[in-house]
Amino acid sequence: MGALSAVFGAEAVGEATAASGWFLENAWLIWLFPAVSFLLILLFGKRFPKGGSEIGIFAVGASFVFGVATAIQWISEVEGGGSKGAEGEYALGAGALSLAAEGESSGGVSAVSRSITWLTNGAESIGAGILIDGLAVMMIFVVTLVSLLVHVYSTDYVAGDRRYTHFFAFLSLFTASMLFFVTASTTLQMLVGWELVGVCSFALIGHWWEEKPNSNAALKAFFTNRVGDMGLIIGVSILFFAAGTFDVIGVNEAALNGTMTHTVTLAAALCLTAAVMSKSGQFFLHTWLPDAMAGPTPVSALIHAATMVVAGIFMIARLYGVFFEGYSIGGSSLNLLALIGGVTTLVGASLAFVQNDIKKVLAYSTISQLGYMVLALGVGAWTAALFHLFTHAFFKACLFLGSGSVSHAVHSFDMKKDMGGLRAHMPHTYRTFMLGTLALAGLPIFSGFWSKDEILVGTGGWGFFGGTDANGSYTIMLVMGLVTAALTGAYMTRVVYLTFFGEYRGHGTPHESGPRITAPLWILGSLAVVAGFINFPPGFQLVPESWREKFFQWVEPVGVSYFPSIKHATPSWSLAIVSVIVALAGIAAAAYYYFVRVRAVSPMATELPNGPTRRWVLARAGHSVLVNKYYLDWLYTRVIVGFVKGPLAKGTNWVNQHVIDRVVNEVGTRSVQAGNVVYHKVDQLVVDGVVNATGKISDASGEELRRMQTGKVQQYAAIMFIAATILAGIFIIVI
Amino acid sequence: MIAEHVAFGIIAAVMVAAASRVVTTRDIMHAALYLVIVLAGVAALFLLVGAEFTGITQVLIYIGAVIVLFLFGIMLTRSDFGDNEDTDYKRKFPALLTAALLLAVMVVALVDRFGTEKLPDDLSPQTTAQVSDELFSQFIVPFEAVSVLLLAALIGAIVVARREEGG
Amino acid sequence: MYLNTMLLLAAVLFCIGVYGVLARRNGVLVLMSIELILNAVNINLVAFGAFHATVVGQIFALFVITVAAAEVGIGLAIVLLLYRNRRSINLDQVDLMRG
Amino acid sequence: MFSFAPSLVGFVRPDIDWHAVAPELTLLGVGAVVTLLDIIFLERGRAYTSAMAGIGLLITLIPIVTLAAQGTTREMFGGAFVVDNFALVLKAMFIVVAYIVVLLSTNYIAEGDYWENEYYGLLLSAVLGMVLMASARDLITIFVALELLSIPAYLLAAWRKGDLKSNEAGLKYYLMGVFASAIMLYGMSLLFGLAGDTRLSEISVALSGGDAEPVAILGIIFVIVGFAFKVSGFPFHTWAPDTYEGAPTPVTAFLAVASKAAGFVALLQLVYAGFGSRDDVYEPLFWILAVGSMTAGNLMALRQKNIVRLMAYSGVSQAGFMLAPLAVIGAIGDEAVSAVVTYVLIYAAMNLGAFAVIITVARRTASGEISSYSGLFGYAPGLCVVMSLFMFSLAGIPPLGGWFAKFAVFRAVVEADTAWGYSLAAIAAVNSVIALFYYAKVARMMWFEAAPAQADMSALRIPPSLLAALGLTAAATLLFGIYPPAITHFTDGALIALSY
Amino acid sequence: MAEFLNDWGLSLATFLPIIGAAVMLLIPKENEQLHKLIALATSVAVAVFGVLLLIQFIDNDDYGALNFVVDKSWIDVIDSRYIMGVDGISLPLMLLTMLIVPLCVIYSWNHFPEPRNPKAFLMLILILETGMIGTFAAQDLILFFVFFEVVLLPMYFMIGVWGGENRRYAAIKFFLFTLFGSALMLVSFLALYFLADPTMVAGELTRTFDMRLLPDAAAGIAKSSQVWVFGGMFLGFGIKVPMFPFHTWLPDAHTEAPTVGSVILAAVLLKLGTYGFVRIAIPILPEAAAEWAPFIGLLAVIGIIYGALGCLAQRDLKRLVAFSSVAHMGFVMLGIATLTDFGINAAVFGMVAHGLITGMLFFLAGSVKERYHTLDMTRLGGLLVQAPRMGWILGFCVMASLGLPGLAGFWGEFPAILASYNPAEVLAEETFRSYMVVAAVGTVLAAGYLLWMFQKTAFGNPKDEFANDPNVKDATFSEYLAWVPLLILILLLGVYPQLLFGATDPAVVNSLSECLESATSEACFDAAAGQ
């Protein structure tokens, strides 16, 4: 995040100097603004001329300004007082922090932590507060910036919606929750923020709840997340009792210094992983995320691409001590976290192929990229993961907002039916979308390249081209990452072709969106290009040394007791080149298929008429002149299209829709059925039945006794005499 | 002593026989007359054990008053004299069983406790004076209460049994 | 003379009386059976009085005799009332109320 | 004349404490006045009889209060007649209950064109029997008191001469009463035979020690059976529903409350003073009676459609509760007496109240069916509330008096700290729930059900005497529940322990 | 003022409603407006008293101990005294009562259910209030019992007279169940009284029902007896809670009760049971509690799952909310069963939160019923379209109910789960950890049924039959007035739970016996006996 303060540094410097540590100490204001804004919009929004959106924009803007100020203060801390010895360039009045600084600082810069008593239990107070360090600052920056842009974008995008005000209210609430989450100083607070963002997601996915599918999607999202939350709740509980505190720093320290046994740490890590899987759309709890595209597009951009879904990544990063120890990441070659990330990234990328809905492509792409981040964390490449989070936020938001801009024009998300050739109609959208695509595909210069490359380096799987000094040797992960890189290039090429090239297949004439939409697009598009520059690799000789690894210096807490001592892999030119080639190969294959072959059929065409069958491939092959070309064609049609897009992707899709998604639905259906059985058979028949039967038996025995009462006085007398006799007889015998 | 035993034996036998007839005869007048025999037997037993005042009272009240009441009752209710099917229930076994069980229990209890006890040999008559001394000192309160009781019974019986004017 | 001879006689009378009240259908006959029972009690009382050489037994018996007389009186009054309303003194017909 | 002198030597003029017997004498006087009134004034006196009886009863309270004020225990005739706190409390209760019954009867008897003066005369003589019972500490006095209170009651039950049901009620009550007293007398004769004396204190001595002899068992059981009939304990309760239903309702109230209370008074005296040491016999017996009564009474009450029969079975069940402390009286002594008396007093208030409502409602509906209470809330909300008060008090719901009664019983049986005690408590707890069911049924009918379409919905006019009765009983029911010391002040175990 | 409040405040607050009811008794029922005003004035006065007490409570600054203690003689013969007092556990519940009642009166203003009769209806509410406040304030077992039972009758009538179709059955079922439990509970109280050691009271060695003294006095009771005594209380309180399998009265009672009745039932009455555990059963008999706790915990988690499954099968909105109470009270009981300060704090919080949230849900259900004349969820839909404010309030409450952090429900649920990870030393960890997992599954199911309910009622478009129904309008003024305080509290407590935990914690810590930290229940017993 410090990255952006580098960009905006010049303006922000003046303010920050005067305030010194004030913004760091009072970072809680950052989430308070949107929180207040939420209430204001909810209560009074409709009375404002712009339906409350201005309040939201103002609040998020304020948060953004504060966030930037905080970032600047933090950077100045790091650069000035830190051990990494940055130049004086940013060291603006590195005033010593006078407030409680937790986490024994052994050469590193300690986080700023303030808290109040939130609740008392067992005469111990449990705090709530802020924990501001590089990670938090980075997240604040990303969240406030994307949120601000999405706010602006939305004023146009959802203009005229019947629940315009409500939409902005929830955007504010979401922003507040997310900021609360990332500044949380305790796991308990994180839990709170975690669930709150889930609710906002629920409310915004279901924004158009008149349609059943939308509300179903909202429910599904919430429900799936709730399953993961179970893990979070249990994990937090385990950590609380193992570490004796909810404090993030305390928990990490306990995990690292051996206070917790390995078993406990592992159990906690496993539970938390479940939470991550649902929140960050990891395989196999990812199915809610594509459905969540039912929400308005700005929401998808903000929540389901840039911020909320990375909450899981953030949590792993926050509690990295627990995960690092629990999964024994260091010195290993495989662990659950990396595996989940790897599988997810592959599954996501292959699924992105078969979608016709542009947003669903992006959704699966997001899943895939989130898998990348988890993979990175799983292999110990902490900074790389967060750097990717950082860059991904911009380019994926850019892509989503771009797709929104498109749909705004064509009133549809279906690429095959209603798009094509939009390049001419929507130049701004097209250009920014291309920037995002290139960044996502990981081509050099663009931000995605830098972060993706760092992840690949971090796997440590490139050992046979020269040691990289990584945390382990996760060769499988490296392979997965490379395959994904190729797939990513391919599916994005497909999207670009179907959307912007060929001829328009929809109705009417699409128009470019207004400035409130294009301006955010350009900002994000630019960021998609430059965001990668703040973390040039250490060995990157093209820039001065002081420009390298800034992100690492600002964000990663080195040398503090609450963060594991992880190794940092040495970058390798060879790997970078290989990864670029792989990505290019994917792009090229797809480009050949669409730009050459499909286009040749008709500008209106979206696929080849006969479909990618082997017989067809062989027939066309005879006409090919260039071996090279043939080879690519073959590669693409047989391997990528014929296999990946065909059986594999379709198969995955089938599994996805019929098995995994089905399981989710089945769980729901079965629960309801179980409920029915329990209620109708057990509760009403057995439990209630016993009660009613008791009544009936009482009634019946009353009736029997009543028969004694015949009305005949001598029978009464007989009863009396016999009873007296028998009583006396029995007593005489017994006593 | 022997005489006493013999006398008791005869009286007892007659009483049991008469009592059995009281509860079995189908002629209601006969039942009343058998009852007289039983009551007389009781009076005789009282005299036999020296309870002379009680014995005489027994004769006076029971045979003199109660039996007459019964006869009035029989006549006022216009019961059929002579052999009457209607006096008893058809099924007598439960009643018999009850009585027999009760008797068994009583006999067991009595034999257990009083099996060997004898009455004092000298059954000197307890004089009326003794009785009245005791009655009017120790038992003056119940005595007075009984007088109220009799009065209440009298009034009540009259009210209940009286034919209502015009009714 | 054994105390028990008296007591057992009383017991027999008592049980005959019990039999009577249960087996007899006619109201007046039931009342007669009651007299048997009460006389059995009196025999007991007098016998015990003699046994303990106390007049209290007699006095108790006197009270019983008196009360019995009163009871028979009102018993007959009630039977009479019944007869007047029903023209019958068979007890088994008196079962308007039951259950 | 002189010839009699020697025989008079044995006679010692009994030392009679006139103060001690003042309540009985006053009552006797009142009864005489009421009876004479009719003879002297004939028809003209009619209007005053009930007032006379009521005032007379209140006057009778005076000597009771003065006796209580002196606070000394008085004994006469070698302990055969005792005036202690126990006796005074219960005498006072009998008088007050009788007063309320008079209030209940005033309109009923006058409007029913029954025999009035005799009615009150008989009522007063029955009350005399009860008052006497409270002081009786020997078998003969107990027997006579019992008969004195029973014989007028037999007649009162049959008071509606033209009504077949009333006849039947009287007949059944009479016959069962006589059978029961026969059994009881036989038991008494055996006890007398064992002790050679009729005073309870002597009997207690004779019974104590060693194993229980069969004769003693027989005697004890027969005597208790006789009174179990009086308190309508299962299985000696059979007369109660039929008699209650057939008898004039004020008489039913009298039987259900006063007569039952008298039975308990006698039982307490007999057990506490007479059978004291033979707890191995009577405790299991009372346990059986208590459990049987509360359970059978409840179960049968569930099936009733007539309100008075329901009250009868409820009475059986309540008797079970009152019998419960007797099942542990050997272990806890005074406390059991206190519990029973507490229960009896509270029961008197709430049960009389319930009957007052029944009488009031019957004036409108002329029916005893529970279904005739439907829609009562519509035309007599006040009455409805008061009836609910009594019903739920009978069910033992705080803060109505009944809860404390039940509480006292629970407390007593738990205090014994024996398996028998705890099991009894548990059974009683379950039964108090079952009981609620039928009490609530009445409440439900009044509150929840709409009145039949053609019902007279005009506001119900309640005659002043009934209103007074309702007010007194309702106030007492509430007071006892909210401020139990109002009752424990009189029934404290130490205070009320019987003298013998 | 302070002195007055300390001495008289509690009693006045308790009996003020009864006085109000008595005044109403004297006014003819035709004068409806006056009745409403009196009821409102009384309940508001009580609430004001509550606030004054709260201020004084804070001023006294001794949350762990009893405040406002009144100790007067009452039933001397059984050593039962009129002892009132509140500490941090009871005060929140008492205030909750004082808040809910005026809101109910306000809500009723124009909503009297058939057959109307505001006089009787409002009087019953006021009587209920006395009973409820008294229960939370009583510090003598017998006094507690009396108040505990006082609430039965008014509620019985409320359900029976103003209830729905099946009201007779529901009313009697409610009554019978509760009475059954409380009868056995009374037996247990008595056993406690007799078994506990005599204690010094006013310079005299005597038996006592004083809750303050009993924890020490009861320490000497043989363990087997303790377990039995606890069993009786368990039934009494457990039925009231209600715990599985004694819950069957609850859905019926809730479904049939009039709105206000349901609200009071859910908000306060159910708490009497759990309060009993926290206040009486566990502090007095900790050793027996340790024996029972695994069993209670088991029933609690069964209740959580069972309630949730029951909800999933419902078509009736109100019945669903009722079943959800079974599940929620399961969390409360789970918290209690852990026997830790953490768990019990959670339980107390859960009680308050459930009171606010479920109370609100019942209010909403009532308003829905009033508008649509049905609660069948297959017929409802599109509430958000027709009554958007109400719809969102429903959404808010649904979120609160499913334990969303930031709202009150979370602080009852999460700490309970948390605590069951680490129950009191004396309990088996493994058992409770498995309970924890089951309870966590319960949170998922809760989300399931609540959201499903919300989707069916609020989302989508209104069904044809109601699409143009003029009856269906948004929340009215009186509804807002009744709801807003609850909503604010739900939010406030959710955001800053210390408001409540701060009060409960000292009291909870005081109430827990140290022996629960012993390794085994035998050791626990020995430790207690040795004290």
Per residue in A332-379, pLDDT (tens digit) is: 777 888 888 888 888 788 777 777 788 888 888 888 888 888 888 888
In order of A36, A46, A185, D215, E32, the CA distances from A63 in angstroms are 12, 23, 19, 99, 54
Of E478, E103, E476, E164, the C-alpha closest to E317 is E164
Cβ C28–B70 below 8 Å, yes or no?
Answer: yes
State the sign of the Cα–Cα–Cα–Cα dihedral A614, A619, A620, A621.
Answer: positive
Q: Given CB atoms, is C13 within the 8 Å cutoff of chain D?
A: no
Cβ D485–E75 below 8 Å, yes or no?
Answer: yes
Domains of chain B, residue spans: 2-91, 127-167
Q: Are E445 and A671 in contact (CB under 8 A)?
A: yes
Q: Given CB atoms, is A121 within the 8 Å cutoff of chain C?
A: no
Cβ D175–A731 below 8 Å, yes or no?
Answer: no
Omega within 30 of 0 (cis) for the link into D399: yes
A contact test, residue of E505, E510, E516 with most A CBs within 10 A: E505
Q: Rounded distance, CA A202 to CA A288, Å?
A: 11
Q: Rounded distance, CA D132 to CA D130, Å?
A: 5
C72: three-class secondary structure by DSSP:
helix
Question: For residue C40, which residues of chain D lie inside 8 Å, CB to CB?
Answer: 186
Domains of chain E, residue spans: 291-531
Q: Given CB atoms, is C29 within the 8 Å cutoff of chain A?
A: no
Distance of CA C37 to the CA centre of its chain: 4
B79: three-class secondary structure by DSSP:
coil
Instruction: Name beta bridge partners: A116.
Output: A128
Question: For residue A720, which residues of chain C lie inside 8 Å, CB to CB?
Answer: none
| Nearest CB neighbour to A120, from listed E173, E399, E502 | E502
Cβ D225–A698 below 8 Å, yes or no?
Answer: no
CA angle centred on E207, ends E202 and E212, rounded to 5°: 70
Cβ D221–A711 below 8 Å, yes or no?
Answer: no
pLDDT at E79 over 90: no
pLDDT at E531 over 70: no
Of A687, A723, A486, the C-alpha closest to A584 is A486
Cβ B120–C53 below 8 Å, yes or no?
Answer: yes
State the sign of the Cα–Cα–Cα–Cα dihedral C48, C52, C58, C61.
Answer: negative
Return the partners of chain E (3 or more C-beta pairs < 8 Å).
Answer: A, D
Of D271, D160, D258, D161, the C-alpha closest to D226 is D271
Q: Which residue reads 């509970």 in tokens? A: E185
Cβ B12–C18 below 8 Å, yes or no?
Answer: no
Q: Which two tokens stand for residue A341?
A: 């990330």
Has domain B2-91 been given CATH number 1.20.120.1200?
A: yes
Q: Which residue reads 């929401």 in tokens? A: A299
Question: Where on the phi/psi map is residue C23: left (φ > 0), alpha (ψ -120 to 50), or beta?
Answer: alpha
* DSSP code of residue E257: S
CA angle centred on D316, ends D312 and D317, rounded to 5°: 115
Q: Which residue reads 């979308």 in tokens? A: A433
Coarse DSSP helix, strand, coil percentages of chain C, rounded to the nearest 5 percent: 80, 5, 15
Return the partners of chain A (3 or more C-beta pairs < 8 Å).
Answer: B, C, D, E
Q: Given CB atoms, is E411 within the 8 Å cutoff of chain A?
A: yes
Cβ E455–A219 below 8 Å, yes or no?
Answer: yes
A contact test, residue of C14, C19, C22 with most A CBs within 10 A: C22
Q: Given CB atoms, is B36 within the 8 Å cutoff of chain C?
A: no
Q: Which residue reads 């006082």 in tokens? A: E150
Q: Given CB atoms, is D171 within the 8 Å cutoff of chain A?
A: yes
Return the partners of chain C (3 or more C-beta pairs < 8 Å).
Answer: A, B, D
- CA distance, residue A191 to nearest chain E CA (Å): 7
Cβ D161–C41 below 8 Å, yes or no?
Answer: no
Cβ D436–E74 below 8 Å, yes or no?
Answer: no
Of E110, E116, E96, E44, the C-alpha closest to E367 is E110
Of E317, E176, E182, the C-alpha closest to E248 is E176
Instruction: Write down the mean pLDDT value for chain D.
Output: 88
Q: Give E7-63 pLDDT, tens digit per residue.
A: 888 898 999 999 999 999 888 888 888 999 999 999 999 999 899 999 988 888 888
CA angle centred on A158, ends A155 and A160, rounded to 5°: 100
Q: Rounded distance, CA A550 to CA A544, Å?
A: 12
Cβ B98–A718 below 8 Å, yes or no?
Answer: yes
Return the partners of chain B (3 or more C-beta pairs < 8 Å).
Answer: A, C, D
- CA distance, residue D300 to nearest chain A CA (Å): 4
Q: Rounded distance, CA E112 to CA E260, Å?
A: 9
**Tell me, what's the ipTM?**
0.86
SS3 letters for D427-465?
HHHHHHHHHHHHHHHHHHHHHHCCCCCCCCCCCCCCCHH
Write down the pLDDT at residue D239.
Answer: 92
Average pLDDT rounded to a whole number, residues D80-105: 93
Q: Given CB atoms, is D225 within the 8 Å cutoff of chain A?
A: yes
B167: three-class secondary structure by DSSP:
coil
Chains D and E form CB pairs within 8 A to the count of 110
A contact test, residue of B88, B97, B102 with most A CBs within 10 A: B102
Question: For residue D152, which residues of chain B lie inside 8 Å, CB to CB?
Answer: 152-153, 156
Instruction: Enter the CATH code of domain C3-92.
Output: 1.10.287.3510
Of E192, E204, E209, the C-alpha closest to E79 is E209
One digit per residue, the tens of pLDDT, for chain C of length 99 reads: 788 888 999 999 999 999 999 998 888 999 999 999 999 999 999 999 988 888 899 999 999 999 999 999 999 999 888 888 888 888 888 888 887
Question: For residue D428, which residues of chain E lie inside 8 Å, CB to CB?
Answer: 183
pLDDT at E395 over 60: yes
Cβ atoms within 10 Å, residue A700? 13
Distance of CA E119 to the CA centre of its chain: 26
CA angle centred on A274, ends A272 and A276, rounded to 5°: 70
Query: Which of A331-340, A506-515, D270-279, E517-526 has maximum average pLDDT?
Result: D270-279
One digit per residue, the tens of pLDDT, for chain B of length 167 reads: 688 888 889 999 999 999 999 999 888 888 999 999 999 999 999 988 888 889 999 998 888 888 888 888 888 887 666 667 777 888 888 899 999 999 999 999 988 888 788 887 776 667 788 888 888 888 888 999 999 999 999 888 888 887 765 44
Whole-angstrom Cα Rg for chain A = 31
Q: Which residue reads 């209920």 in tokens? A: E128
The H or E element that residue D189 is part of is helix D164-195
Q: Given CB atoms, is C53 within the 8 Å cutoff of chain A?
A: no
Write down the pLDDT at residue A390.
Answer: 87
Residues with Cβ within 8 Å of residue B137, at least 6 apart in sequence: D11, D12, D13, D14, D77
* DSSP code of residue A109: P
Q: Given CB atoms, is D183 within the 8 Å cutoff of chain A?
A: yes
pTM beyond 0.90: the answer is: no
Q: Given CB atoms, is B102 within the 8 Å cutoff of chain A?
A: yes
DSSP letters for E448-506: HHHHHHHHHHHSSPPPHHHHT-TT-----HHHHHHHHHHHHHHHHHHH-THHHHHHHHH
Question: For residue C97, which residues of chain A lie inside 8 Å, CB to CB?
Answer: 711
Question: For residue B104, which residues of chain D lie inside 8 Å, CB to CB?
Answer: none
B124: three-class secondary structure by DSSP:
coil
Band the pLDDT of E305: cuts 50, 70, 90.
confident
| Nearest CB neighbour to D144, from listed C30, C38, C63 | C63
Cβ B45–C43 below 8 Å, yes or no?
Answer: yes
Domains of chain C, residue spans: 3-92
Q: Given CB atoms, is C23 within the 8 Å cutoff of chain D?
A: no
Chains C and E touch (3+ CB pairs under 8 A): no
| Nearest CB neighbour to D179, from listed A699, A709, A720 | A720
The H or E element that residue E526 is part of is helix E521-530
Omega within 30 of 0 (cis) for the link into A213: no
pLDDT at E337 over 50: yes
SS3 letters for A542-582?
CCCHHHECHHHHHHCCCCECCCCCCCCCCCCHHHHHHHHHH
Q: Rounded distance, CA A417 to CA C50, Å?
A: 125
| Nearest CB neighbour to C22, from listed A706, A710, A717 | A717
Comparing A604-613, D78-87, E13-22, E114-123, the range with the smallest average pLDDT is A604-613
Q: Rounded distance, CA E508 to CA E519, Å?
A: 21
pLDDT at D154 over 60: yes
Chains B and E touch (3+ CB pairs under 8 A): no
Low-confidence ranges of chain A (pLDDT < 70): 1-20, 80-109, 123, 461-468, 470, 605-661, 664
Q: Given CB atoms, is C25 within the 8 Å cutoff of chain D?
A: no
Q: Given CB atoms, is B151 within the 8 Å cutoff of chain C?
A: no
Question: Where on the phi/psi map is residue D174: left (φ > 0), alpha (ψ -120 to 50), or beta?
Answer: alpha
Question: For residue B94, which residues of chain A lie inside 8 Å, CB to CB?
Answer: 718
CA angle centred on D425, ends D420 and D427, rounded to 5°: 95
Q: Are D289 and D323 in contact (CB under 8 A)?
A: yes
Question: For residue C7, which residues of chain B lie inside 8 Å, CB to CB?
Answer: 110, 114
- CA distance, residue B113 to nearest chain D CA (Å): 6
End-to-end CA distance of chain D: 39
Cβ D398–E145 below 8 Å, yes or no?
Answer: yes
Q: Which two tokens stand for residue A164?
A: 């315009």
DSSP letters for A2-66: HHHHHHHHHHHHHHHHHHTTHHHHTTHHHHHHHHHHHHHHHHHGGGSTTTTHHHHHHHHHHHHHH
- Give the count of alpha carbons within 13 A of E498, CB side only: 12
The H or E element that residue A271 is part of is helix A262-279
Helix D381-395 and helix D464-482, axial crossing angle in degrees, nearest 10: 40
Alpha-carbon dihedral A255, A260, A261, A263, rounded to 10 degrees: -70
The H or E element that residue E169 is part of is helix E167-195
Chains D and C touch (3+ CB pairs under 8 A): yes
